[in-house]
Structure 1
Amino acid sequence: MAFLARPRFGAGGQADHLDGLALTPEPEHKAAVPGEHTHSIGTGPHQRLQAVIAAARFHGIELDPCDYSCGDEATVPSAAMLSAWLQNAGLWARAVRLRWRDLVLLPQTGPVVLLLKDGGAALMVGADPAQHLVGIKSPDWPAGAEGIAVDQLRLEQVWSGDALLLRSKRARSQAEAPFTLGWLISLVFRERRLLRDIGVASLTLSFLTIFPPLLVMTVVDRVLTHHSYSTLVLLGALLATATVFETFLGSCRRLIVLVVGTRLDAKLNLHVFNRLLRLPLDYFERHPAGETMHKIAQIYKVREFLTGKLLSTFLDLMTLVVLLPFLFFLNPVLAGMVLACTALIMLIILAFLPPMRRSFAKVISAETEKASALGETVFGIKTIKSLALEPQRNALWDERVADVGISRLAFGKLANWPQTIITPLERFMSIGLVLIGAYLALEDTSGYAVGALFAFMMLSMRVAQPLVALARLIEDYEGVALAAIEAASVLNRPPEVDAISGGLRPRFAGAVSFEDVSFTYGGTKLPALDHVTFEMPAGTMLGIVGRSGSGKSTLMRLLQGINRDYSGSLKIDGNDVREINLRHLRQSFGVVLQENFLFRGSIRDNIIAGRPGLVLSDVVNAARLAGAEEFIERMPNGYETIIEEGSPNLSGGQRQRLAIARALITDPRLLILDEATNALDPESEALLNANLLRIASGRTMVIVSHRLSSLVDCDQILVLDKGKAVDIASHNVLLDRCDIYRQLWSQQSRHQGQQGQTHVASTIVRSR
């Protein structure tokens, strides 16, 4: 068994006591347990975080308390909040409420976090069910400290009963299984307890369904024949009682179905969003957002089918277990005709399924193209408006709508044929059987066939409807299966490798080394990077320059782990990037792109997006460092000013400075500015450049820029050309020995000189 420390016991097998909040041994036990530690269990949210961090460290996961947000420092984290934090870090975790007898019998695969009544926490590191003792230690004790043994009475004085179970994730959890129709059905059957209740209610309702036809048969055959008023009153009372029960059970069944549907929706939403976030960036770069959203929406069509038509049909089919035998009891001939008509309907539908499947696939394809055009138009509306592209987009939309209309019309025409053929059979089941039944009643001489005919007619449609629905269910299944395939084409894409749970989690200093690194994008033959080799020590400010297409952005993508299928060696502090946990890697970076997305919300919320637990003073410091404080304070509500979708109330330079502040708020060890100054106006750029040395203090910084003037103060400048590392040195050295860098510098200097001359000339003209 693996423990952080084994529990220790005092003399005579008695447990050391948990007095109040202090894990201190009783005086009489001190001699028996020499060297016993005397530490108190602190209170407050930090103590619970310490306990969780210590438990996670046992499983090889190093957590950063700064990554946890509980609103404010005074808020005590609940078991559910801590569980969510652990799951986000890649561990399996579950918040539970336990009794003592359950606690001592827990499998001892690691420490269990016990949440105390006063907001503190303790670690259970072992148990002895035979002696009814558990081993307890404080999370702030030294790593090698042993736990002490505590009995039920002492523990329950301070323990709230809440606990946090955690372990390393299994190789494949239910949520990581491939998305298929079978997986979705298994998700439904995980609600087996509620489904059992629905089944019991449906079966009971089936028995109650028999009562009204029996009552009618009795009224016709007994009451009307013998003029029995007492029997009529009794039957009325029985009918009222059955109606009350049927109403109550029907209401309960609908409520349970609603609960099942709501739970499935919640699970599906969580699953889909998690899988989308784990898809590699390459997927989103290669597929339109509208297409992805349309395919994902097909999941809810499948869910609606499972909890709607499929569930209701199978619930109705349960009535057949009760009603079919009763129908054959009433009239075997008519019952056989009902089954024969249903079988014929099913055969007709099966015959039309293959061509309908092919036709519906064309509908799905056309709908996907239409959704893609819509999404592209919405996301690119600024470009469309600025270039007056409305007529072209209208023409494209008309074409997509026409394609959908043609495909749907073709599918509808094909689907109309089975319906046309089936309609006479359905009419025969509802009307024709009445005529045949009337004929059989006229031929019957017993006098009781009329009542049986009424009862059969009332029940026959209750039997025919689910049988016909079952036949039509096969037709609906084809559309649902195609919808599931569409959704699976997105969700079953290979996720980023070890994006959550796998890989190393080192603490970075910031030393980066590329050794013979080559990378080629899929579908191309020319390498984006060709045997690139260079090193940058921790704390270095490195500039990267080169013509368009030289590999600057690719270099940054490899450094962030966006693309991992490169050759050669890329290391940070001696750790291969491919072996580092992706989330940990990216959380250690601060990245500012040329075009940055700001979320809908306040300026404050956008800046602390990476560390939602930070306070306003941290936000102000980051904004000041990024040169954003000045314009934020002029906004109507300062840091609480709301940024709408698309940031229409901010200039490009303001958006960029907020993005820089957002990157700095996490205090990253490595900061990447990828063309980050291109959108800045000269004043903002000058302000940022003036702060660069302060920003770079204590961290490694990589600046990718076309503007060489912003790289003059860099410790080193890497020059790239056609995917190759041409040279790396300081600005002055490169001017002397690197032709490409000297050419780029002279071009920009000449351009700036011309701008200066133009400015002087315009000033002279204005003065005249």
Structure 2
Amino acid sequence: MNDTPRNPGLGADEPRGPANPDMAALSDAKLQLNQAGEARMAAVLNVARFHGVEMDLDGLRLRGSEAAPPPPELVVWLKEAGLWARGVQMNFRQIMNMESPSPIILLLDDGGAALLVGRDRGRGVLVLRDPRQPTSAAPVLVDELRLKQVWSGATLLIRSSRHGALEEQPFNLGMIARIVWGDAKILRDIAITSVTLTVLSLVPILVVMRIIGVVIQFHSTQTLNLVIILMLVAVLFEAIMTWSRKMMEVVLAAKLDAKLNLMIFDRLVALPIEFFEREQAGQISYKISQVNRVRDFLTGKLMNAFIDVFMLILLLPILFYMSAPLAWTILIAAALIAAIIAVFLRPIGILIGKVIAAESAKGSILIETVFGIRTVKALALENTRATQWDASVAEVAELNVEQARMANWPAVLTMPLQRYCSYGVILVGAFIVLHTQNSIDSASLFGFMLLGGRVAGPLVSLAGLLDEVHQARASIDQVGHVLNRPNERQALTTGLRPRFEGAIEFRDVTFRYEGAKTPALDKMNFKIPAGTMLGLVGRSGSGKSTITRLLQGINRDYVGSIRIDGTDMREINLRHIRKNFGMVLQDNFLFRGTVRENIIAGRPGLSFEDAVRAARLAGAEEFIERLPNGYDTFIQEGSPNLSGGQKQRLAIARALISDPRVLILDEATSALDPESEALVNANIQRIAAGRTMVIVSHRLSSLLDCDLIMVLDQGKTMDIGPHKELVQRCAIYRHLWFQQNRHLAPEGFDDESSQPAIV
């Protein structure tokens, strides 16, 4: 079959554009790439446009000017644009047999790339195109031998993200079941192995039941030897099958664990920041960990339930064949067992929910204590936290005992019925033989003794499965409480990706925090051109940090309009905003790793020279060089080997590494000593060159070089202008200025009647 397209380019649905849009875009981005790098970039641009997506070239930074972008970086870049992408290893035959209407990128051995745009199965050749050439250029037909000379199988598959993908579906038992069903082949093999093992476990019983009497009666040694050999072979085969099934279960559990962990982490980091600000870290961690219980249920208990059902289907006809009256007694006993267990399911389920809630609260105390151990030590709160921990542990222990006591009742009440199914049925069978005319031979009675328990066991397990389902659902509810909340995924993968200049405008912006009675911002209006250095001042609670949160897209449920370079912020891709808006907070977190790794955390592909340049601009170079290993000094969790000022300067360097068009400093110099603050302030003009800066500071002296200073009060803009003008015309600003600079205060400045200074 020949499916070569008429036009060996992108096809009839290709968006119209300039003759060579790829190279023009590359030129605009000023990326210094060699031919191989250009080919890979152009290939990605081509396929992205095929799917209707314009890539943000500034979103990709290469490891070196002469290196082609590796597949992992390309995959991340494509995913950030909202496309599905995966790097795989394929061979010529697999590529030839694929039914894909979209182009496929072949990553060549020399670092370049080729676009697969068609196949000629009749002649056994692939239709390839150089992605750097115009779409009207003639394609190249390549056979397997020629392709192997330049291609070792590295392939990049790209498609549009499908609606209803796992990342978008609610987290529930059905979604997890679909993940498990994705490994249908392994499930099929496990099922076949389980059925075989079930049959093998019954064969010895049936053989012994029917043959042992004959062997004893006729003293047939040869028959006994044959039976022994057959049983040994069966046991050996059963051992091999058991080992194989266990390994398949391990592989299935590992694959399911990997898929669940990847999906959960992606969903977790897509949640908005306000969720993490409201919820306790310990409770989030405990609820997420409940997914392990669900995994164990699907790969363990549910699999065993399948085996139990098959066991029942296989055994019941055999029991009824041997003796219908005895088989009915076993069924009645099993039904009573199931009824007893069903009565206790609801109260046990309620107690399980209480245990989970208590365990969550206990975990929250532990993690909160670990995170705040410096405060605990500094304030000697060990005994106080220990008292809270003891109370939590006692509550969990009490609930566990209560739940175990409740669960013990059905086990005790059903024990006589289970014992009847195991060996009591023999007594009933003997009674039937002695007092009725039904004839049951000794082999049948012996078979009921061996097989009766195997019928009761599965029935009890199936009744207990309801309890397991209840626990699994409770665990899924805990995980779903975290993962099924509204997230930022759509905002992170869709929207415009314009090139920023840095003009900011607020139009009647009103924002209220959840549960607050008064708005944090009340019809806020201001406008600054690109390249402006804007200072924000005001008393505590006036809305300074709220403005920075809105600019970062942390809170998006505001009323009004925020425009960046004239474009409504809600229409811009959220990840694009955050990558182009640098942010330095008052209290910054540094990751475990070296100083260099922390500086380039947002752009891991950048070079050592880029890290040095950012550190120098932030005033961090001088102390980094004094560290034991310089830029390779390892920072432990909590940064115990760095001072507050050093951490702050590293955070500023980390924000500058991506050369953001807008830089936000929210009390960024508050933790600095006077010398470090003076050093950073001396670099402010260099830092501000070519970018818009928004600086929140309670030290007005650090804002003197700002082009504009905006004075806030109760969420409103009271005035905006340079320092000299505000001192003259704005009473709030003048008061704050003289309060901090009393030696400059005019006569008559009353400190006692003054407003409280900003915090």
Shift of the alpha carbon at 1:560?
0.8
User: SS at the partner of 1:526?
Assistant: coil
Please state if 1:200 is matched with 2:201. Answer: no
* 1:476 aligned residue (458, 468, 492): 468
Calculate percent identity across the aligned residue pairs: 52
Pair 1:254–1:107, CA change in 2 (3 A): closer
Q: Using the TM superposition, name which of 270-279 and 116-125 deviates more.
A: 116-125
- Paired residues of 1:7 and 1:134 also in contact (CA < 8 A): no
Please state if 1:637 is matched with 2:629. Answer: yes
CA distance in 1, matches of 2:665, 2:565: 20
CA deviations on 1:569-605 (whole Å, 9 max, x unpaired) are: 1111111111111111101111100000001111111
- Matched length: 719
Kindly provide the amino acid, as one letter, of the partner of residue 500 in structure 1: L
Which residue does the alignment assign to 1:137? 129
Kindly provide the amino acid, as one letter, of the partner of residue 568 in structure 2: D
User: Unpaired runs of 5+ in structure 1?
Assistant: 10-40, 754-768
CA distance in 2, matches of 1:341, 1:388: 61
- Paired residues of 2:8 and 2:139 also in contact (CA < 8 A): yes
Which residue does the alignment assign to 1:311? 303
- Paired residues of 1:133 and 1:150 also in contact (CA < 8 A): no
CA deviations on 1:133-167 (whole Å, 9 max, x unpaired) are: 765433334xx542322224365654444432212
Please state if 1:646 is matched with 2:631. Answer: no
Which residue does the alignment assign to 2:170? 178
Shift of the alpha carbon at 1:47?
3.4
- Paired residues of 2:34 and 2:68 also in contact (CA < 8 A): no
Shift of the alpha carbon at 1:402?
2.9
CA RMSD of aligned residues (A): 2.9
CA distance in 2, matches of 1:158, 1:105: 20
Which residue does the alignment assign to 1:655? 647
Q: Using the TM superposition, name which of 744-753 and 257-266 deviates more.
A: 744-753
User: SS at the partner of 2:282?
Assistant: helix
* 2:139 aligned residue (126, 149, 164): 149
CA distance in 2, matches of 1:277, 1:371: 21
Shift of the alpha carbon at 1:492?
0.4
- Paired residues of 2:592 and 2:636 also in contact (CA < 8 A): yes
Shift of the alpha carbon at 1:731?
1.2
- Within 5 Å, which residues of 2 pair with 1:74-113? 79=71, 82-97=74-89, 103=95, 110-113=102-105
CA deviations on 1:656-709 (whole Å, 9 max, x unpaired) are: 001001101111111111100000000100000111111111111111111111
Kindly provide the amino acid, as one letter, of the partner of residue 295 in structure 2: R
- Paired residues of 1:45 and 1:73 also in contact (CA < 8 A): no
Which residue does the alignment assign to 1:584? 576
* 1:406 aligned residue (392, 398, 408): 398
CA distance in 2, matches of 1:444, 1:149: 90
- Within 5 Å, which residues of 2 pair with 1:309-348? 309-348=301-340
- Paired residues of 1:348 and 1:418 also in contact (CA < 8 A): yes
- Paired residues of 1:542 and 1:716 also in contact (CA < 8 A): yes
Which residue does the alignment assign to 1:35? none
User: SS at the partner of 1:689?
Assistant: helix
CA distance in 2, matches of 1:587, 1:4: 39
Pair 1:729–1:4, CA change in 2 (3 A): farther
Please state if 1:215 is matched with 2:207. Answer: yes
CA deviations on 1:602-631 (whole Å, 9 max, x unpaired) are: 111111100111111111111111111111
Shift of the alpha carbon at 1:249?
1.0
Shift of the alpha carbon at 1:486?
1.3
- Paired residues of 1:593 and 1:675 also in contact (CA < 8 A): yes
User: Unpaired runs of 5+ in structure 2?
Assistant: 11-32, 746-759
CA distance in 2, matches of 1:53, 1:4: 20
Please state if 1:451 is matched with 2:477. Answer: no
Kindly provide the amino acid, as one letter, of the partner of residue 280 in structure 1: P
Which residue does the alignment assign to 1:714? 706
Please state if 1:6 is matched with 2:18. Answer: no
Shift of the alpha carbon at 1:189?
2.0
CA deviations on 1:460-515 (whole Å, 9 max, x unpaired) are: 32332222111111122222211211111111011025233211111111111111
Q: Using the TM superposition, name which of 400-409 and 690-699 deviates more.
A: 400-409
Kindly provide the amino acid, as one letter, of the partner of residue 340 in structure 1: I
**TM-score of the pair, normalised by structure 1:** 0.88
Kindly provide the amino acid, as one letter, of the partner of residue 139 in structure 2: A
Shift of the alpha carbon at 1:105?
7.3
- Paired residues of 1:601 and 1:644 also in contact (CA < 8 A): yes
Please state if 1:416 is matched with 2:414. Answer: no
* 1:538 aligned residue (499, 523, 530): 530
Which residue does the alignment assign to 2:26? none
Please state if 1:691 is matched with 2:691. Answer: no
Kindly provide the amino acid, as one letter, of the partner of residue 146 in structure 1: S
CA distance in 2, matches of 1:603, 1:5: 55
Q: Using the TM superposition, name which of 628-637 and 166-175 deviates more.
A: 166-175
Which residue does the alignment assign to 1:52? 44
- Paired residues of 2:502 and 2:661 also in contact (CA < 8 A): yes
CA distance in 2, matches of 1:353, 1:445: 42
User: SS at the partner of 1:499?
Assistant: helix
User: SS at the partner of 1:174?
Assistant: coil
Pair 1:447–1:248, CA change in 2 (3 A): farther
Shift of the alpha carbon at 1:118?
2.7
- Paired residues of 2:190 and 2:249 also in contact (CA < 8 A): yes
CA distance in 1, matches of 2:618, 2:320: 83
- Within 5 Å, which residues of 2 pair with 1:475-554? 475-496=467-488, 498-554=490-546
Kindly provide the amino acid, as one letter, of the partner of residue 602 in structure 1: T
CA distance in 2, matches of 1:723, 1:195: 60
Kindly provide the amino acid, as one letter, of the partner of residue 192 in structure 2: V
CA deviations on 1:360-413 (whole Å, 9 max, x unpaired) are: 322222222222222222222222221222232222223322332333333333
CA deviations on 1:524-550 (whole Å, 9 max, x unpaired) are: 231111111111111111111111101
CA distance in 2, matches of 1:186, 1:469: 24
Pair 1:200–1:675, CA change in 2 (3 A): same
Q: Using the TM superposition, name which of 93-102 and 635-644 deviates more.
A: 93-102
* 1:263 aligned residue (252, 255, 261): 255
Q: Using the TM superposition, name which of 125-134 and 716-725 deviates more.
A: 125-134
Pair 1:221–1:108, CA change in 2 (3 A): closer
Q: Using the TM superposition, name which of 413-422 and 47-56 deviates more.
A: 47-56
CA distance in 2, matches of 1:5, 1:68: 34
CA deviations on 1:35-91 (whole Å, 9 max, x unpaired) are: xxxxxx976455324422443244454445665577667776565663344224421
